[in-house]
Structure 1
Amino acid sequence: MEISGFISAVIIGIVIGILGRLVVPGRQRIGIIWTILVGVVAALVGTFIAAAFDVADTKGIDWIELAIQVVLAGVGVAALDRSRSTRR
C-alpha cells in the first residue's frame, strides 16, 4: 500500500468512525484512536460487503456502501464501548 492509500484510509476511517459514534446513542468511553481504528475496519469491511452485493460501484456517491460502513462503525463503536465499560 502506498502512503497516499494509507492516508486516504485513515481520513475515510476518521469520517466513518465519527459517523459511527454519532449513530450510537449516549456517551462512548473510547478514545479517538479506537474510533479511527473502528472506522478504518468498518470502511474496509463495508466496501467488501458492498462489492459482494454489487452495490459498490454506482454513478456518483455510493450511498448504500456508505450506509453499510456507518452501520458497521456504529456496531463496532458500541461493541468496543460495551467491552471496555464491563472491565471497570
Structure 2
Amino acid sequence: MQWLWAIIVGFVLGLIARAILPGKQHQPLWLTTLFGIAGAILGNAVSGWIGVEETRGIDWIRHLLQLAGAILIVGLGDMLYMSLWGNRRKQTTTT
C-alpha cells in the first residue's frame, strides 16, 4: 500500500513542481510522476539529515523539503529530457 501512496504523492508533487517552474516542461506525465517520487525521497533524506524528519502535528518542513526536491528534480529532469529527446521529437513532428 505504501507504493500507492508514493505514486499519488509523487504525482501531486510533480504537478505542483511543474506549475511552479517557469515556462513549459516537455516531459510526459509519467516521467513527471517519477520525478515527483524522487523529489519526495530527496526531501525525506534532507529532513532526516537536518533532524526534522518527525515533528509534532503536520510535518511542514518535511513537506516543503519534498516540494523543493521535486522542483529541483523536475527542472533538471526536463533539461535532461529535452537534451536527449527534444531534437527527436521536433524532427518527427516536422517531417
- Answer whether TM exceeds 0.5 for this pair: yes
Counterpart pick for 2:16 among 13, 16, 19:
19
Task: Quote the residue 1:76 is aligned against.
Answer: 73
**Aligned with 1:30: secondary structure?**
coil
After superposition, residues 8-87 of structure 1 pair within 5 angstroms as 8-87=5-84
What's the CA shift for 1:13?
A: 0.8
Q: Could you list the runs of 5+ residues in structure 2 that have no partner in the other structure?
A: 88-95
Distance 1:30 1:7 in 2: 22
Instruction: Say if 1:13 and 1:39, in contact at 8 Å, map to a contact too.
Output: yes
Distance 2:16 2:52 in 1: 20
Instruction: Say if 1:20 and 1:72, in contact at 8 Å, map to a contact too.
Output: no
Instruction: Say if 2:39 and 2:72, in contact at 8 Å, map to a contact too.
Output: no
What's the CA shift for 1:85?
A: 2.2
What's the CA shift for 1:84?
A: 2.3
Task: Quote the residue 1:6 is aligned against.
Answer: 3
Distance 1:22 1:29 in 2: 13
Higher relative contact order (CA closer than 8 Å, sequence separation 6+): 1
Distance 1:24 1:7 in 2: 26
What's the CA shift for 1:10?
A: 0.7
| Rg larger for | 2
Q: Give the TM-score normalised by the residue count of structure 2.
A: 0.81
Which 4+ runs in 1 deviate beyond 3 A?
none
Q: Could you list the runs of 5+ residues in structure 1 that have no partner in the other structure?
A: none
